[in-house]
């Protein structure tokens, strides 16, 4: 029932988009740039629905600046260059005031020049590799120091891990994250031969060799753990192979940065119990605001079984920040919002407040969760306070001197503290 | 602390000897201790586990086991602890001591006692020492394995007692290994340690290697020498087993390639249709498995172990019917126009993907592994997982079945006749259009049953087929178009080459090398490994 209503609403939306200015009431348009077909549809469709829900709820509260919000949904079809085209279409043709979207780093990189050129706003909700800060982009997902580093700290201190397997899919996010982690581990005194780095292609399904390598690597008399930046889909066969090969979480735990509730939903979780994931939000977070959010989500999507996940929370935070900044600035003009949004603080779903920092990253708590039999995570550890997202990693040679501050007078995404100069323009 | 440990061991042993008599003394005395588990954080729970083990009463074992499995809950109202079993929206409660049913509780009335990996390790070794003297040999064996992993010198005495009473040779060996592992960690004299090194060296697997490397790094003198020797010996034997393991992995990858490609070997190899929608036939088979499992889960959970067998014919029919429909609706108008066929079938593959995405949603679907498809067994120093083993067997069976159909049945005869000389076959009274449709249906149906097998090792998502289409064409072209034996040999060769390259070059580079190898090979032999010869080729 609810679903047909949503479809109806969508159809209505599309119709009104086509009529354009003819609509009686003036609206504020919000672009949703998530793949609804192709490889990434598996993850991104949910975020599109989450955005529609947030916009619907805001309209119930009376909209924004006295106007109704209107979602404009486009489908970039998991095709990276198409992301740029669709972003341009959203900004130039549909005249949206802010865009929420993108998932993979390559799609974000593809739309960056468009947002810079047309001076619009992008809210990017997914954990990413850092090493970037752009004036028109707000990074509401985790930077490496908000996910990878605390996870490694947890394994080192609580589980006593001394030997590390860094396994990832072969693209920019795992490669950069692993570079940062390798530098970090070495700075902590881990020897070269105690780190094994391994990359696999997208959608890798034959994990036998790698799992047996991990087993061999783990039998050197030291506690071993796997830090996995393996991308969503390939995780299922990976964990299946681990389970079948009899590698238990008690012996060799795997901590994953790309496995959330959504990914576990397609998986028989019994062999995974005890393996870990690091995020800034788990559906199991025991707070009132989270319970409300889940209830609203289930009502909106019309399915009690659907889960919530970390990027959804990032959109929740990002959207509310944008709303607050627009109210503060009294306009949706991009420059005014960019100035107004720094310092804006909104509740997150884990019971605290997240604030937008001058480097366009946000503050978040870091949670380590263990996979449970029901596909949920149980928080076993969390940072005592909020962690500020760091755009430029302190552990990489090229970036440790860089800082980012988009407030006047610095207004620079990569200020070099060693030379005292803004190294380039923008990103 | 060490006093406590000795005391513990003494108690365990005492309990073991006293047996059930002690166990029945008064379980109620344990209840407050068990209820204590639900209070406080991990550190306190760990202490409580220690206190429970200190009672030495095997009656606490079920509660600890349930805690390790995450099945121990407490009632929010009064803090009583129960073992629970999920039943729909509520939980069935069981008393942790008497093991009698204790009614039901709603989701919100009870809360789980939290465990993490550290606690699970503590529980594992605690259960190990509690159940060393259990009447069931299987339980004793797993207890000894747990003690082996814990490597706690305090367990030596308990093991000694258990060893004396042990009657089963298999269990005795495991216990001796567990004792050796504990001895390495203890402060016993060198002679004892060297004996332990010998035991572990005979054990010869990675677990033993791990312990010995550790010993080599921490010890001195004679013990260090013995450890080094043992490490070298084990490493040598493991290296030999590794080669065998690589061949096995290669066969396993090859069988997956074979399954994916064998349907294509018919539609592309025999009929010459460049079928880009082949991967989607595999996907339809996998989704059929999903639907079958869903139906079984809701109507007849007892049949779950047979779900794959039930899904096989259905997947064949589903994919086969879709295949026939595609042939009748699209491909038959395009025979002899390969470029148009390629584009049309690619379009069909996109339509099928999006259709599945609309019906089942974009997310992965869970296809469970029946019991006989999960787990692994050890062959020497090789780990063989059941799902891979069955897939190899299955791929070979499918291959043999297909060979039989093509070589020994009238339908196979017609198919070969039509592909070799269409006009001659037609003048002999064979209805060639129907043979085309049925052959295409057969190829698609085979892809469908490949989907049933692949659903066991890969994601069931709308993109499932895309991952296999390139590999399938590679295998068919490499093996020799039109030759089923070529497909078999091609798939196995590519699998083994890939798996031998992977440890050295990594998965990404390994795949690239294989592609380069195929390109060079095709330059040299454009018709593949087993080229068809004779007039049929020129036709």
- Could you read off the pLDDT of B274-314 as tens digits, one per residue? 899 999 999 999 999 999 999 998 998 888 889 999 999 99
Q: Give the pLDDT score at B534.
A: 57
B534: left (phi > 0), else alpha (psi -120 to 50), else beta?
left
Q: Inter-chain contact A221–B217, Cβ cutoff 8 Å?
A: yes
pLDDT profile of chain A (427 residues), mean per 10: 49 46 70 87 89 95 92 92 95 95 92 95 94 93 93 91 93 91 94 92 86 88 90 80 86 90 79 89 92 94 90 96 95 94 94 94 94 88 90 87 86 85 58
Strand A363-364 with A68-74, pairing: unpaired
CA distance B310 to B299: 14
Q: Give the pLDDT score at A112.
A: 94
Closest chain B C-alpha to A333 CA, distance in angstroms: 36
Beta carbon pairs, A and B, within 8 Å: 147
**DSSP letter for each residue of A227-261:** EEE--GGGHHHHHHHHHHTT--TTTS-EEESS--H
Q: Delimit the domains of chain A by residue range.
A: 2-142+286-362, 145-282+367-388
Q: Inter-chain contact A265–B511, Cβ cutoff 8 Å?
A: no
Closest chain B C-alpha to A170 CA, distance in angstroms: 8
Q: Give the pLDDT score at A172.
A: 86
Across the interface, which of A212, A237, A243 has its CB nearest the CB of B245?
A212
**Chain B within 8 Å of A219 (Cβ-Cβ)?**
yes
DSSP H or E segment with residue A368: strand A367-371
Q: Give the pLDDT score at B366.
A: 82
**Minimum Cα–Cα distance from B372: chain A residue:** A244
Tokens matching residue A224: 């071993």
Q: Which sign does the torsion angle of CA A258, A262, A266, A267 carry? A: positive
Query: What Å distances lie between residue B117 and A194, A249, A272, CA to CA?
Result: 22, 7, 12
Q: Inter-chain contact A221–B213, Cβ cutoff 8 Å?
A: yes
Query: A359 and A133 in contact (C-beta within 8 Å)?
Result: yes
Q: Inter-chain contact A206–B206, Cβ cutoff 8 Å?
A: no
pTM: predicted TM-score of the whole model, two decimal places: 0.81
Q: Delimit the domains of chain B by residue range.
A: 2-130, 241-538
CA distance A7 to A10: 5
Q: Inter-chain contact B385–A204, Cβ cutoff 8 Å?
A: no
Mind listing the pLDDT tens digit for each residue in B25-61? 566 778 888 888 877 778 888 888 888 887 777 778 8
In chain B, which residues have pLDDT < 70? 1-27, 533-539
Closest chain A C-alpha to B1 CA, distance in angstroms: 21
Q: Give the pLDDT score at B383.
A: 83
Q: B-chain residues within 8 Å CB-CB of A36?
A: 362
3-class SS of residue B505: helix
CA distance A167 to B58: 42
- Tell me which CATH code domain B241-538 carries: 1.10.3470
Q: Give the pLDDT score at B16.
A: 45
Q: Give the pLDDT score at A23.
A: 45
Prior bond of B407 cis (ω within 30°): no
**Chain B within 8 Å of A77 (Cβ-Cβ)?**
no
Q: A-chain residues within 8 Å CB-CB of B149?
A: 251
Q: Give the pLDDT score at B18.
A: 42
Q: Which CATH superfamily is domain A145-282+367-388 in?
A: Response regulator (3.40.50.2300)
Q: Inter-chain contact A201–B507, Cβ cutoff 8 Å?
A: yes
Same fold, A2-142+286-362 and A145-282+367-388: yes
Please report which residue ranges of A28-140 form alpha helices under DSSP H: 41-60, 80-88, 105-118
**Chain A within 8 Å of B228 (Cβ-Cβ)?**
no
**Chain B within 8 Å of A265 (Cβ-Cβ)?**
yes
Q: Give the pLDDT score at B535.
A: 54
**Domain A2-142+286-362, what fold?**
Rossmann fold (3.40.50)
Query: What Å distances lie between residue A239 and A249, A374, B221, B257, B319, CA to CA?
Result: 11, 16, 42, 21, 29
Q: B-chain residues within 8 Å CB-CB of A372?
A: 70
**Minimum Cα–Cα distance from B218: chain A residue:** A221
Q: Give the pLDDT score at A325.
A: 96
**DSSP letter for each residue of B210-225:** HHHHHHHHH--HHHHH
Tokens matching residue B519: 């390109």
Closest chain B C-alpha to A163 CA, distance in angstroms: 13
**Chain A within 8 Å of B259 (Cβ-Cβ)?**
no
Mutate to test the interface with A, among B364, B465, B513 (most CBs of A within 10 A): B364
Mind listing the pLDDT tens digit for each residue in A363-415? 999 999 999 888 899 898 888 889 999 999 989 888 888 888 898 888 888 88
**Chain B within 8 Å of A168 (Cβ-Cβ)?**
no
**Chain B within 8 Å of A420 (Cβ-Cβ)?**
no
Query: Percent of chain B, pLDDT > 70?
Result: 94
Strand A367-371 with A377-382, pairing: antiparallel
What value does the CA radius of gyration of chain A take, rounded to a whole number of Å? Answer: 21
**Minimum Cα–Cα distance from B235: chain A residue:** A216
Mutate to test the interface with A, among B248, B377, B457, B499 (most CBs of A within 10 A): B457
Across the interface, which of A37, A158, A250 has its CB nearest the CB of B120?
A250
């Amino acid at each position: 029932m609810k679903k047909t209503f949503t479809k109806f609403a969508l159809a209505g939306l599309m119709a009104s988009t086509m009529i354009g200015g003819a609509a009686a009431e003036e609206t504020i348009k919000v672009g949703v740039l998530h793949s609804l077909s192709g490889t990434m549809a598996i993850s991104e469709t949910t975020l599109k629905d989450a955005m529609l829900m947030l916009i619907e709820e805001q309209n119930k509260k009376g909209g924004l600046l006295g106007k109704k919000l209107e979602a404009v949904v486009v489908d970039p079809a998991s095709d990276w260059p198409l992301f740029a085209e669709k972003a341009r279409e959203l900004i130039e043709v549909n005249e949206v005031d802010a865009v929420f979207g993108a998932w993979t780093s390559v799609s974000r990189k593809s739309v960056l020049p468009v947002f810079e050129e047309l001076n619009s706003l992008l809210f990017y909700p997914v954990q990413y590799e850092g090493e970037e800060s752009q004036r028109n982009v707000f990074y509401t997902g985790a930077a490496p120091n908000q996910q990878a580093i605390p996870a490694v700290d947890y394994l080192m201190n609580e589980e006593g891990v001394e030997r590390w397997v860094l396994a990832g899919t072969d693209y920019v996010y795992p490669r950069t994250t692993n570079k940062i982690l390798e530098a970090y581990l070495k700075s902590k005194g881990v020897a070269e031969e105690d780190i094994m780095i391994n990359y696999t292609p997208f959608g890798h399904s034959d994990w036998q060799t790698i799992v047996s390598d991990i087993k061999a690597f783990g039998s050197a008399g030291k506690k071993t753990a796997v830090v996995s930046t393996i991308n969503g889909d390939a995780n299922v066969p990976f964990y299946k192979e681990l389970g079948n090969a009899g590698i238990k979480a008690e012996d060799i735990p795997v901590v994953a940065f790309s496995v959330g509730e959504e990914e576990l939903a397609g998986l028989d979780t019994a062999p995974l119990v005890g393996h870990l994931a690091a995020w800034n939000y788990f559906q199991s977070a025991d707070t009132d605001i989270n319970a409300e959010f889940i209830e609203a989500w289930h009502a909106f999507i019309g399915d009690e079984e659907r889960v919530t996940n970390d990027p959804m929370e990032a959109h929740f935070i990002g959207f509310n920040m944008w709303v607050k900044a627009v109210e503060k600035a009294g306009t949706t003009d991009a420059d005014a919002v960019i100035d107004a949004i720094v310092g804006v603080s909104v509740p997150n779903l884990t019971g605290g407040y997240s604030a937008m920092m001058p480097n366009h990253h946000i503050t978040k708590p870091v949670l380590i969760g263990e996979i449970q039999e029901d596909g949920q995570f149980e928080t076993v550890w969390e940072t005592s306070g909020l962690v500020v997202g760091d755009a430029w990693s302190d552990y990489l040679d090229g970036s440790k001197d860089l800082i980012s501050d988009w407030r006047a007078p610095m207004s620079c995404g990569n200020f070099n503290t060693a030379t005292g100069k803004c190294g380039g323009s923008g990103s | 602390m060490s006093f406590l440990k000795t005391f513990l061991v003494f108690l365990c042993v005492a309990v073991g000897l006293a047996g059930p008599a002690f166990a029945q003394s008064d379980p109620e005395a344990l209840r407050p201790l068990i209820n204590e588990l639900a209070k406080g954080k991990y550190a306190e729970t760990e202490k409580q586990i220690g206190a429970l083990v200190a009672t030495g009463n095997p009656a606490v074992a079920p509660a600890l086991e349930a805690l390790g499995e995450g099945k121990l809950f407490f009632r929010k109202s009064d803090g009583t602890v129960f073992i629970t079993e999920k039943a729909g929206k509520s939980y069935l409660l069981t008393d942790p001591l008497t093991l009698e049913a204790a009614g039901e509780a709603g989701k919100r009335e009870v809360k789980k006692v939290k465990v993490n990996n550290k606690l699970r390790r503590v529980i594992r070794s605690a259960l190990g020492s509690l159940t060393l003297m259990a009447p069931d040999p299987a339980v004793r064996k797993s207890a000894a394995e747990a003690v082996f992993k814990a490597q706690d010198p305090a367990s030596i005495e308990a093991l000694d007692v258990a060893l004396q009473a042990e009657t089963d040779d298999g269990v005795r060996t495991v216990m001796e290994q567990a004792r050796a592992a504990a001895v390495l960690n203890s402060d016993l004299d060198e002679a004892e340690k060297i004996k332990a090194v010998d035991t572990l060296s005979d054990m010869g697997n990675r677990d033993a290697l791990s312990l010995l490397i550790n010993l080599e790094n921490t010890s001195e003198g004679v013990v260090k020498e013995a450890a080094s020797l043992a490490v070298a010996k084990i490493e040598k034997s493991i290296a030999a087993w590794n080669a065998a393991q690589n061949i096995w992995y290669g066969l396993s990858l090859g069988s997956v390639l074979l399954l994916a490609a064998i349907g294509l070997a018919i539609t592309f190899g025999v009929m010459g249709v460049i079928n880009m929608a082949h991967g989607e036939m595999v996907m339809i088979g996998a989704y059929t498995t999903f639907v079958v499992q869903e139906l079984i889960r809701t109507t007849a959970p007892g049949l779950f172990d047979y779900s794959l067998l039930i899904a096989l014919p259905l997947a064949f029919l589903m994919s086969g019917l879709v295949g026939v429909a595609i042939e009748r609706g699209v491909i038959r108008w395009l025979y002899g126009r390969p470029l148009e066929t390629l584009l049309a079938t690619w379009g069909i593959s996109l339509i099928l993907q999006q259709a599945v995405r609309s019906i089942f949603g974009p997310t992965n679907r869970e296809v469970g592994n029946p019991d006989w498809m999960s787990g692994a067994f050890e062959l020497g120093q090789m780990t063989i997982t059941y799902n891979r083993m069955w897939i190899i067997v299955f791929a070979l069976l499918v291959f043999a079945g297909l060979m039989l159909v093509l070589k020994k049945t009238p339908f196979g005869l017609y198919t070969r006749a039509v592909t070799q000389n269409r006009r001659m076959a037609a003048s002999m009274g064979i209805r060639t259009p129907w043979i085309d449709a049925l052959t295409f249906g057969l190829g698609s149906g085979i892809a469908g049953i490949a989907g049933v097998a692949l659903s066991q090792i890969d994601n069931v998502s709308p993109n499932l087929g895309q991952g296999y289409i390139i590999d399938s064409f590679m295998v068919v072209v490499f093996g020799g178009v039109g030759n089923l034996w070529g497909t078999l040999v091609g798939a196995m060769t590519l699998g083994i080459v890939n798996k031998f390259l992977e440890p050295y070059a990594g998965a990404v580079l390994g795949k690239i090398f294989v592609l380069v190898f195929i390109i060079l090979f095709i330059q040299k032999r454009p018709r593949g490994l087993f080229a068809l010869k004779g007039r049929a080729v020129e036709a």
